Structure 1
């Protein structure tokens, strides 16, 4: 069928961007320099999406791909028409254009009764925004005269566990979303008219709100929040458990700074306490609770931190999609007199790292030792998975979990609150508030300065030259070592608060 109008004004990604916020759509079209570029984590997510999309084509074999050519979409449209004329049952990246709207269908299935649309996602569930994505494809094909007899989302099944070989039927779920898409398609014309009106006018004056973070954090958020409205890094939007309704109430009153909140504004006791602490720039310390926490720790204390990575498509037996796979740990062993020992493990790339890491861990940590982690639920989860996988190490691994304590606890329970923590108990905020010198130590690291960078670096080790690999391995070890040293310093700060009280 001849596809109408060769001028491209809108794609399915632009359409879904507009669904989240029409201002974001306008900025992407006319002022993209204000958008925050994707970071390494986002780029890795895009790459994962491409790999998953390619693999899902195996569910629909013997198809033909329309090669992605961003400077020749017209050619892609023509190739699609040619493949349809030639009678291919499955077409990957089938490209259609109608009234300035360009859509690429991940997998198009041609049946005797009409065509089916399959949208492939690397997530583990069907999100509402995916339905909008499929609906604009449905709309374009229908307007071009195709009979769309089914709409589907193909996504990863997180319950899948890999055996010796990869089973595509087990890895993926195919969800029929035809009914939902049909309902959304009825409102598309109105949406398109709305977007056209926005795009033919000046920059929209759309206020900030929940849509800035849902379903994704918008890449225009920095521009809309910081540049245009001057929202500070720590604002009413950071107050612990202050719901969006209360935030909106303050925001509509013109209040965004913590110091501008009136004393009689209705909040919980903890929220009021945090606001007052911030206003006075004072630190609140519940010394009795912290003392109780410290008394439950026995020496030597094993400060533990894992680095992990995830695979949408599991490479090794016994692993599920997006399972946290540990490849590294750092262990600072703190003795009663203050002496520190350091142990570490970093797996070799290109093979399943779990067993050798687990063996090293049980060698380094005795069964009855006090183990300290920051946000221990993560470390416990990793160790529990290792125990499930390696029965001969299970008893020892689970004993490590039984003796684990959480350094996050005093901060999460609000026993220690400092203004510089900005209402958070994440180590990202706690560390610079309690031990500012450590922030400079992280900044001085070469190449890897956070967990996301560590995860991405290890995942790419096998693609590196030997020189690059050696340099990256050194950077990984230095980063992870600093993480457990940071825990030692935080604990030292908590002890100092109690000792200060005792000396008075």
Structure 2
């Protein structure tokens, strides 16, 4: 059947995805920059985790000679080598590479390394197929384990691997899954036996769980012509109401019956889309604007995360701010701009916090879009640098959320598609600003910025200079966009 453990878990999510990967992979959406960065992180974490199991040997990956990898693994097991990295086994067309295999006098131990901060259900299927293959080959497996990042770990002066990683024994769970594997493999083999006809599997919650499937665009847009904004945006995918309407052949929001039972917010979304009108609650917008006092400090942070913290005081996957933009709007209409971008290769937090308290006085109105993010970053900075604590917490106390009137449905347009995300609000209210993002060079969204900053140390001088300029231009546009959105809100009550 030629099945790897990654293809097996893909088939667990959806057998059609497996079939497409085998026979029609051209329709699959290639991984974006964020996904590629996640893969790279996984590789780095995997290599580091091997140091928990020292003095082992790695089976060198050779896609042209899996049999050779299998033989090498077998020889090292027979020699009694304690730790084997990428131990390779092949049974009945199923190929598995065990991240770390421990060889003991009593049997083998499996260690699957993941860069996430918890054990997910899909990981159990990943380990279970490894266990299945080893057992079918006659090996005695005495434990199965998942090694993952412990997000509660805080780095000290040196990296403590035993603190960074958590080892979880999942033997009971994966042993329980063994009974279903032969039936699953038989099902997958039946699907793959028909090379001409892809499986007839409908869309559903499995398209997004545990990961967004790389066939989703094909299955949803190409095969079923489901629009970007559909009933799936009104009801949660997989909800009873969504399934009920979908099974009746209803996909478009305008086809939802007028008398269909919905919550008040759902009804408003549907009605607004059907009538294609803009709803504005002038009184509540006025009340919101009255909470803002000039000068208004429009603030936006850019952050990145590290699975393996490089600097003291940082936890895995902590949001590390490296940049901010600040547009200061005065009552007479004058706009000032201030900004900060950390130096690459060093911890940017202290210098950023120092500049931030210089740029934002105590007791002024700070405006953010989705303020919980900015306030969370500020709170962490306040915790990390006591000399700035009072000032940073004061900033938080005076922070208002520009998202609030859209979240509360005080201002709704059809173009917002029922969302209050800036991704939909901005092009609806200030379309020229949305176009300005598309003209940016290299950095056009938060994900681009998050991926670019940690790569600066490895760039050539010119590439680094260009990327730093692009980062500054992008972040500046974020707060300028907030100025323009606020201006639209003001016009409502003029």
Q: TM-score range by the shorter chain?
A: over 0.9
Residue 378 of structure 2, aligned match among 383, 386, 391: 383
SS in 1 for 2:493: helix
Q: Which moved more, 1:227-236 or 1:411-420?
A: 411-420
Partners of 2:204 and 2:118 lie apart in 1 by: 25
Deviations 1:324-354 (A, max 9, x none): 0000000000011111100000000000000
Equivalent in 44, 53, 61 of residue 60 of structure 1: 53
| Aligned equivalent of 1:23 | 16
Contact 1:240 1:423 (C-alpha < 8 Å) held by counterparts: no
Contact residue 307 and residue 451 of structure 1 kept, 8 A: yes
Q: Kindly tell me: are residues 240 and 434 of structure 1, through their superposed partners in 2, closer, same or farther at Cα, counting changes over 3 Å?
A: farther
Of 338, 343, 359, the residue aligned with 1:348 is: 343
Residues in 1 aligned to 2:296 and 2:234: alpha-carbon distance in whole angstroms: 33
Q: Name 1:3's counterpart in structure 2.
A: none
**Are the aligned partners of 2:235 and 2:241 in contact in 1 as well (CA < 8 Å)?**
no
| Of 46-55 and 271-280, the range deviating more from structure 2 | 271-280
Contact 1:240 1:424 survives alignment (8 Å): no
Cα distance in 2 for residues equivalent to 1:463 and 1:233:
38
Q: Tell whether 2:412 aligns with 1:417.
A: yes
Q: Distance in 1 between matches of 2:476 and 2:462?
A: 21
CA root-mean-square deviation: 0.9
- Aligned CA distance change for structure 1 residues 460 and 438 (closer, same or farther; 3 Å): same
Give 1:258's aligned residue: 253
Shift of 1:70: 2.3
Which of 338, 341, 348 lines up with 2:333 in the alignment?
338
Q: Which runs of 5+ in 2 are unaligned?
A: none
Cα drift, residue 273 of structure 1 = 1.4
Runs of 4+ in 1 over 3 A off after TM superposition: 240-243
C-alpha displacement at 1:87, in angstroms? 1.9
SS in 1 for 2:443: coil
Q: Does residue 139 in structure 1 map to residue 118 in structure 2?
A: no
Per the TM alignment, residue 240 of structure 1 is displaced from its structure 2 partner at its CA by 6.2
2:39 aligned residue: 46
2:204, 2:238 within 8 Å by CA — same for their partners in 1? no
Q: CA deviation at 1:85?
A: 2.5
Choose which of 287, 295, 298 in structure 2 pairs with 1:303. 298
Q: Check if 1:270 corresponds to 2:232.
A: no
> Where does residue 166 of structure 1 map in the other structure?
159
Match of 1:404 in 2: 399
Structure 2 matches for 1:192-207, cutoff 5 A?
192-201=185-194, 202-207=197-202
**Aligned partners of 2:236, 2:104: CA distance in 1, in Å?**
52
Q: Deviations over 1:348-406 (max 9, x none)?
A: 00000000000000000001110000000000000000000000000000000000000
Residue 430 (1) aligns with residue 433 (2): no
- SS, match of residue 116 in structure 2: coil
**C-alpha distance in structure 2 between counterparts of 1:348 and 1:242, whole Å:** 43
The answer to whether structure 1 residue 497 and structure 2 residue 492 are counterparts is: yes
2:205–2:238 CA contact under 8 A, matched in 1:
no
Structure 1 residue 424: deviation in Å? 0.9
1:245 aligns with 2:240: yes
**1:137/1:282 Cα in 2 relative to 1: closer, same or farther (>3 Å)?**
same
The match for 1:118 is 111
Q: Which residue of 1 aligns with 2:149?
A: 156
Q: Which residue of 2 aligns with 1:327?
A: 322
- 1:285 aligned residue: 280
**In structure 1, what is the Cα distance between the partners aligned to 2:401 and 2:158?**
38
CA deviation vs aligned residue, 1:48-86 (integer Å, no higher than 9, x gap): 000000010011111001112223222211221222222
Confirm whether residue 81 of structure 1 aligns to residue 81 of structure 2.
no
What is the CA–CA distance in structure 1 between the aligned matches of 2:64 and 2:273, rounded to whole Å? 53
What pairs with 1:450-461 in structure 2 (closer than 5 Å)?
Answer: 450-461=445-456
Structure 2 contact 145–167 (Cα < 8 Å) conserved: yes
The answer (yes or no) to whether the contact 1:114–1:146 under 8 Å persists in 2 is yes
Q: Distance in 1 between matches of 2:161 and 2:264?
A: 52
| TM-score between both structures, scaled by the size of structure 1 | 0.97
Alignment TM-score, normalising by the size of structure 2: 0.99
Aligned to 2:88: 95
Task: State the partner residue of 1:443.
Answer: 438
What secondary structure is seen at the aligned counterpart in 2 of 1:255? coil
**Unmatched tracts of structure 1, length 5 or more:** 1-7, 500-504
Q: Give, in whole Å, the separation in 1 of the partners of 2:420 and 2:12.
A: 33
Separation of aligned partners in 1, 2:203 and 2:209: 12
In terms of mean alpha carbon deviation, does 199-208 or 323-332 score higher? Answer: 199-208
